[in-house]
Every structure is written in C-alpha cells, then in structure tokens.
Amino acid sequence: GDGGVWERLMLLGLSLAQSVPRQAACPAAVAPLSLTQPEYQGTEEDTSVGFMSALVQSFLHTVQPKPFPKGECHQCYSLIKHLEAQVPQIDQELLKEVSKLGFLVCVAIGVLYIVLMPLVGFFLACCRCCGNCGGKMYQKQTSSTDCRRRTLYWGAFITTVIIFAGNICMFRSNEAFRQSVDGGVVELDKTIENVQEFLTTVPQQVNYVVNESYKTVQEVSRNLDAIGPQLGAEIQKRFRGTLDPALNSVRLLDRETVNTDKELKKLNSSLVQLQSSVDRLQANVTVVKNRINQTLSEPNCNGCANMYDQLHELTLDTSISIPSLSELQSAVDDVIKTDLQSKIKEVEDFFDSIPQRVTNDTKDVVENSQQRLDEIKTQVSQVTNDIPLSALTNVSKTLEQVQKDISKFTPEIERAEHIRWGVCVVLCCVVLLVVVCYLLGLVLGPAGLSPRKDPAKRSCTADCGGIFLMMGAGFSFLFSWLFMIAVVLLFLLGGSVYDLLCQPWNNGQLLEFIDTPDLIPGLEIGPALGLKSNINISDIYRDCEQNQPLWTTLHLYEVINLDDLLNVSKYTDEIQMYFDNTDITLATITLLSPDVKKQLSSFSASAKDFDSAAVTQQINNVSSINLNTTADRLDRLADVQNNDAIKLALRSEAMDLRKIQSDIETIITPQLVSQLSPYLLCHLLIPVCGTVGEVLGNVEAAQDFLNTNTTQIVETESRKFVDCQLGYFIVYADWANLTITQQVGRCGPVAGAVDSVEIIVCSHLVESLNAFWFSLGWCIIFFIPGIIFSIKLAKYYRRMKYSDVYDDHIIMNHIPRAQMKFT
C-alpha cells in the first residue's frame, strides 16, 4: 500500500544520508539494509465450491433474518456455566432466549414430513390394494381426457426436471465437499506453515536490527583504531593543495639546476677544446706569415714592398672566453651545495609523519571511546530482552503440535470422508433412480399410447411407462422420509454453523463476541504482555489485515521505551567531549631557510645577468677573419714575378693560407656557432629564472599557509572525523526506530491464516454441506408433486381391466349381464 511505499522511501533516504559522509571521511562503513520480508505460500481458489452459496444463504437469511444474536450467545455461555456448576434451577427465560437460535419452523416441517410421508404412503397403498384411491383398474373416457393427460404429463415432466436439477446439484456438492476436505488439509498445512514462518521471522528480524548495531559499533571501533591513517589522510589532503605545488617546483628547480650544471661543464670543456684549436691555427698562421715575410724580402721579388701592410694584418691572435659564464657556474655550484633533495625529503618526512602523530596524540581518547562503544552495544541489545519473543515461541510450539495432530488424524479423516462420500453417492443414486423411473415412464408412456384405443387394450410399452411412473412414486414414498431425516440433521448442523459461526465470522461480529470480557478465561492479551491496556482480538485482526507491524498491533510502545533504548547521545556526547579535549600537535617546519632563498635569488640574478653580447662579439671576430684575400693578392703577386722560385714560393704560401682559412670555416666557426650560440645559452637559462621565481613564490605561499592554518586544519578535520563516526549512530538509531516500529513483524500472515481457516471451514466445507442438504431437500420437496402427478398420470398409460372408450361422442360402457335368479 501507500504506507509501504513511504516506508521504503524513508529507508532509502536514511541509507543515502549515511552514505554521503562515509564517502568523504569513512569509506569503509556499510549502510544497514532494509528488512527483507519473507515470502509466504499462497492459497489456491477452488471455483467448484460455493456454486450454490447465494441461493442457500438467501434461504437461510429468510429462515433466520435476524443478525448474529450476541445476547443469546452470551446467555448460551451463561447456561453452559450454570450446567457446569450443576445448578438445579435453570432460568426459564434463559431457555426461552436460547431456543430462538433454532430454526423451529423448518424443523417442524421436516418432522411433519418424516411422520406424514410414510403414513400417507401406507394408507395410499392400502387403499389401492382395496381398489380405492385409483386402485380400481377402470378409467372413464371423456372429451377432456386428453387435456387432463397432457396437463398431468407436463406437470410430471417439469417436476422431474426440477428433481433432476436438484440431483445434479447433489452430485456436484458432494464432490465439492470431498475436494474441500482433501484440499482443506493441504491449505490448512500451508496456513500453519505461513504462521510458523511469520513466528520464526520475527525473532530473526529483531536480531537483525540488534546485529546491525553491533556492525555499527564494530565499524566505528575499527575507524577509531585506524584514526591515524584515516584522520591523518584527511589532514594530508588539506595540506596537499598548497604543499604539492611548492614541492613540485623545488623538485623541478633541482632537476634544472643539475641539468644546467651539466651543460655548463660541458660548455666549459668545449671552450677549452675550441681555444686549443684556435691556438693551433694561430701557430700555423704565424709559420706561414714568417715564410711570406722571407719571400717578400728576396731581392728579386718584384712589387713585394706593397704586401707588407697586408702582411701585418695577417693574424689569428684571439682568445675565446666568457667571464659571466664562470659567475653563473659559481652560482650553480652554490645551489647544488644547498642540497634541495634533502629539503624535499625533510618536508616529505613531515608530511608522512602526520598519521603517526595523530595516532600517538589520540591514544587515550580512543581507549575511552572504545569503552563507551561497548556500553552502547549493551544498551541496544536490551531490545531483544524487552520484546516478548517467548510468547511467539510458545505459539510456535503449539502450532507444531497442531501440525503433528493433523498429520496423525489425516488418514482417519480421509477414511471417514471416503465413507461419507460413498453414503452421499448412494443417496444421490436413489434420487437419480426416482428420476430415471419418472423419465422412463414419461418416455415409454406417450410412445406406446394410442389415445383412441380401448384402455383395456393399451400396448405393453404404454403399460410399462405407467408402471415406471408408479415405481417412481413408490420409491419416493419409500425413501423420502428417510432422506428428510438426513436433511433435518444436516440442516440443523450446517445452517446453525453458518448462522452462528460463518456469517458472524465473515462480518467480524464473531471476533467482537470473543472480545467480551471474561468470556474465555486467560484471553487477556494486554496483561499477558504487560501492557497497561487490554487488546481486543478484533483490533489485532484489523491491524494484521492491513499488514501492520507488531509494534503498533500489540501496543509494544507501552512496555518498551524505544527512544530511550536507541538514545545513544549520552555516550556520543562523552566521545565528542573526549575529542574536544584532545590536542593534536604538528611540529612546525621551515620549507626553505633564508640562506637557501638568498642563494636561489643569487642564482636567478646570475642567470639574468649573463652577457650574451660578449659571446656574439667573439663569434663575429672569428667570423670576420678572411685569409683568402691575402692568398689572392699573393697569387696576383706571383703572376708578375720573373723568378720562378719566388713565384713558386708565393703560390705555395697562398695555398697554405687557403688551407688555414678552410680549417677556420670547417672547424672553428661551426664550434663557435654550436657552443656559443646566444639562443642556446638563453634557452638553457630562461627556465632557471622562471623556476626560481616560481619556487620562491610557492614556498612563500606554502610557508604562510602552514604557519597560519595548521592548527585550524587539524581541529576541523578532527571534528569532521568525530562527527562522521557519531553520525553512524544517529543514522542507525533512526533506521532501527523506523525498522522496529514499521517493518518488524508485519502480521499480514496472521490475518491471512484466519481468513484461510474461514475459507476452509465456511466457504468450502459448510457451503458444500449446506449445498448438499439444500439440494437433497429440494428434491424431496418436489417428490410430493412428483408423486401426485406420476400416480394420476400412470392411469392414462397403464392397461385397464375394464373398457371405457369414448368414440364419436358415444360412450360405451361395460353392461353387466342380467343375473337370472332361479328359485
């Protein structure tokens, strides 16, 4: 119903409410699940039962129109009490009131039938034997004979059809009763099994609620034992947002410093090699210059004087050095000496020590909280002791005994039912015999009848039809009064049970009658459960019909203070106070000392002050050297010489200059460009400048955060952790309260058992029994018109001894011969 939907929504809300904080601070906690209601066996409807219930009930209501006689039943009970006490004087008024319960009119009619039917049959048989009451085998033929015969025929036919219809109902109701008995044992066993399942489930549900409290206590206990990792992890998480960027920037600076130092050392090594190459080429230029000077000094050298100015400019005397590079190397060495890795390790050790510090500082409060948790467990377990589960156990044992008794007596019941079924089949067959006789008479009579024929000359077929009709009437006289005895007895039994039990059971008046104080000794449910007020059976049934829990059905709130049992605030408040008085202290830490920051600033400044213009100037100086110009002038000078030796010497010296120029272009210049490129050096130094600035900014922000927020973070996370743990108890208490008051012991199976028994007893057995006696009574009542019609109609078919023919309006009668009297 709607109530069940709202309850499931509330349980879902509680589960969601509990799952939210758990995901943040207590991921290991498990939310309690809602109770799983057991599945009960369903009952099977038998459509063959109750097919005449409306007709029979209408008849019974006509016979006894008054409602359930509560007053009379009370007086019946009082009468029984008087008889038990052997009181000699019984109130006549009481007996008069009790007598109203019988169906005296119907019983009187039945008694008259039982008495008069055999008497009438006896006198009728005697009269017919004496030739009276139609016993004389003579039938007067008149013009209305055919009309009377047809009228009697249709009257007999309709009566036979009605009796046959009642006989069919007898067969069917007899079979329905047999099926009701066979199926009633099975359905009753199912009903008891359902109640047993209910009685077994209630303690299990209560224990489940209590066990969930144990789980909650154990979960909180485990969380308290793991307070270091859990709370410490939350504190670490709060620090990570600020510390991680600072540590990452320091790690990056350390890597870039190491890379810069490696590149600087590689650069210095390259510069040394480059300077060695320059010095070697300078020596070669000097040698060639001296040789040219000697050649030009030869007296036979024509026009050589003009070459002396060019010869003075012929030199590679240059040094490749970068003074700012040494300053940068010195700054890098200072940063490496600070050992940034050790600073990072120191901060990480501080960070990793937080869980252990939390564990150490909360050791005492955890021990005290564990004691409070044990007290909570003891308090909640009191629910099991306060709920009267022993009463359910007693009922369960009684039902087990009932099941054993049913199993024990089932064979006897089946044998008795088999005998009853056989007797009823015999009754049905006797009624069917009467119907068959009537039907044979109604078929054979008209088939062999010739209306204009002399009655004394009727055919054997017509005569047999008349005999069958007389046989049917004879069987009716013979058995109807015996059958009426069975009808009266079954009527008194079935009608009284329906009127006094089934009808008030169906409309609820029976339960209200049972609720009468002092009617049944020991039925006071309220005092038995220790309640302040008594509980009516009818109220319990109505609640169970709506599948209400035992909490409201049995008014358990009068004996169990559930709010007090589930109120764990006094313990949780103590736990909260313990944590409030606990001081978790974290040691202060300095991420980078002022000296380290100063060295980093110096390193950044050296990188920014690096003189790339000097490097460019040195590259330009080397790139501007061109020995090929001097070599070309020497070739032109050699062309104007007359002395072959001088000419050859000049050409050789020009060739040597070109070779040296080639070495400059292929060796020196590429090395200068690759090693001393300003772009390469700036690419190496620019990240260092940016990283140093980022490190100083992040470290400064992290240090300020640690100095100002550490204490607040520890207090905030501690409060969140404690609130999370205590929130489990709040959610559990709400869940347990809702479960016990709205889920435990939904007693729908109890009302279902009562309804099932009512269906078995009333809707099946009593209705089938009432249908049988009603059908039998129906047939017996119509035996009377059947006898009348069949006896009167038989004379129209039987062969007469005396003729009487009606032909052309002339009546021919038998004329007795004259008797002559001789004297």
Say how far apart CA 208 and CA 83 lie, in whole Å: 52
pLDDT band at 795 (very low <50, low <70, confident <90, very high): confident
Can you give the pLDDT at residue 811?
A: 44
Contact 411, 181 (CB under 8 A): no
Percent of the chain at pLDDT above 70? 72
Average pLDDT over every residue of 165-185: 89
> Which run of H or of E encompasses 318?
none
Would you state the pLDDT for residue 425? Answer: 94
Question: Which of 25-34, 502-511, 580-589 holds the top average pLDDT?
Answer: 502-511
| Inter-residue contact 736 to 523 (CB < 8 Å) | no
pLDDT confidence tier of residue 307, bands split at 50, 70 and 90: confident
- Contact (Cβ atoms closer than 8 angstroms) between residue 76 and residue 101: yes
Position 642 pLDDT exceeds 70: yes
CA pseudo-torsion sign 522, 523, 529, 532: negative
What's the pLDDT at 69? 54
Q: What confidence tier does 76 reach under pLDDT thresholds 50, 70, 90?
A: very low
Least confident window among 139-153, 370-384, 676-690, 794-808: 676-690
Which carries the bigger pLDDT value, residue 484 or residue 241? Answer: 484
DSSP string, 369-426: HHHHHHHHHHHHTHHHHHS-HHHHHHHHHHHHHHHHHHHHHHHHHHHHHHHHHHHHHH
* Choice among 46-55, 231-240, 532-541 with the minimum mean pLDDT: 46-55
pLDDT at residue 133, rounded to an integer: 65
Q: Quick check: 702 pLDDT over 70?
A: yes
380 vs 218: CA distance, rounded Å: 14
215: left (phi over 0), alpha (psi -120 to 50) or beta: alpha
Residue 306 pLDDT exceeds 80:
no
Read off the pLDDT of each residue in 644-662 and give the average, rounded to a whole number: 84
- Which is more confidently placed, 384 or 28? 384
Which of 190-199, 448-457, 473-482 is the least confident region?
448-457
DSSP character at residue 46 = -
C-alpha to C-alpha distance for 431 and 174, rounded to whole angstroms: 14
Confidence band for 171, pLDDT divided at 50, 70 and 90: very high
pLDDT attached to residue 14: 39
Backbone angles phi, psi at 812, to 5 degrees: -110, 115
Given pLDDT bands bounded at 50, 70 and 90, which one contains residue 47? Answer: low
Residues 646, 491: Cα–Cα separation, whole Å: 166
Spatial CB neighbours of 19, under 8 Å, sequence gap ≥ 6: 31
The pLDDT value recorded for residue 160 is 93
Domains of the chain from N-terminus onward: 242-355+588-710 (1.20.58)
Would you state the pLDDT for residue 424? 92
* Residue 394 or 583, more confident: 394
Structure confidence at residue 819 (pLDDT): 44
Contacts 24+ apart (CB under 8 A), 417-425: 417/178, 417/181, 417/182, 420/177, 421/174, 421/177, 421/178, 424/170, 424/174, 424/177, 424/772, 425/171, 425/174
**Could you give the 3-state DSSP secondary structure of residue 83?**
helix
Lowest mean pLDDT among 153-157, 194-198, 442-446, 590-594: 590-594
What is the model's pLDDT at position 528?
A: 61
Per-residue model confidence (pLDDT) at position 150: 86
When pLDDT is cut at 50, 70 and 90, the band that residue 699 belongs to is confident
Binned at pLDDT 50, 70 and 90, residue 462 comes out as confident
CB 202 within 8 A of CB 745: yes
Residue 289 CA, chain-centre distance (Å), reads: 105
User: Is the pLDDT confidence value at 9 over 50?
Assistant: no
The DSSP symbol for 802 reads B
pLDDT of residue 421: 92
Confidence of residue 159 (pLDDT cuts 50, 70, 90): very high
Instruction: Determine the average pLDDT of the residues in 575-589.
Output: 68
Band of pLDDT at residue 162, cut at 50, 70 and 90: very high
Backbone φ and ψ for 641, nearest 5 degrees, come out as -85, 145
Supply the pLDDT for residue 259.
Answer: 74
Residue type for position 238:
R
What pLDDT is attached to residue 536? 75
* Residues contacting 557, CB < 8 A, separation 6+: 551, 741
pLDDT in tens, 87-111: 444 444 444 444 344 467 778 888 8
Positive or negative: CA dihedral 439, 443, 444, 450: positive
Burial classification of residue 597, based on how many CB atoms lie within 10 Å of its CB (0-12 exposed, 13-18 middle, 19 or more buried): middle
**Lookup: tokens for 516:** 């009468």
The pLDDT mean for the chain works out to 74
Biggest alpha carbon distance in the chain? Answer: 235
- The whole-number pLDDT of residue 422 equals 92
Query: What pTM does this model have?
Result: 0.63
Amino acid, res. 91: D
Residue 630 CA to residue 293 CA, distance in Å, equals 13
Tens of pLDDT, residue by residue over 210-248, are: 887 777 777 777 777 777 777 777 777 777 777 777 777
DSSP-derived secondary structure for 711-740: HHHHHHHHHHHHHHHHHHHHHHHHHHHHHH
* Distance of alpha carbon 484 from alpha carbon 52, whole angstroms: 20
Give the residue with greater pLDDT, 120 vs 698: 120
Task: Give 342-351 pLDDT, tens digit per residue.
Answer: 777 777 777 7
Q: Are 298 and 304 in contact (CB under 8 A)?
A: yes
Q: Which residues contact 321 (CB under 8 A, 6 or more apart)?
A: 271, 275, 618
| All residues at 6 or more sequence positions from 207 whose CB lies less than 8 Å from its CB, including other chains | 384
Q: What is the pLDDT of residue 675?
A: 59
Token readout for 217 is 């206590």
Backbone angles phi, psi at 79, to 5 degrees: -60, -45
- Name which of 46-55, 482-491, 497-506, 536-545 the model is least confident about: 46-55
- How confident is the model at residue 154, as a pLDDT? 93
CA 222 to centroid of chain Cα atoms: 29
According to the per-residue pLDDT averaged within each range, which of 242-246, 306-310, 466-470, 714-718 is highest?
466-470
Lowest pLDDT segment from 162-166, 510-514, 634-638: 510-514
What pLDDT score does 524 carry?
Answer: 61
Range with the poorest average pLDDT among 36-45, 366-375, 494-503: 36-45
Greater confidence, 163 or 763? 163
Give me the percent of the chain exceeding a pLDDT of 90: 6
Reduce the secondary structure of 153-216 to three states and give it as a string.
HHHHHHHHHHHHHHHHHHHHHHHHHHHHHHHHHHHHHHHHHHHHHHHHHHHHHHHHHHHHHHHH
Q: How far is CA 397 from CA 209, 449, 595, in A?
A: 24, 75, 88
Pair 365, 373: CB distance under 8 Å: no
Residue 78 has pLDDT above 60, yes or no: no
Evaluated on CA atoms 504, 505, 511, 517, the torsion sign reads positive
* C-alpha closest to that of 483 among 117, 63, 56: 117
Q: Which of 39-43, 362-366, 512-516, 662-666 has the highest mean pLDDT?
A: 662-666
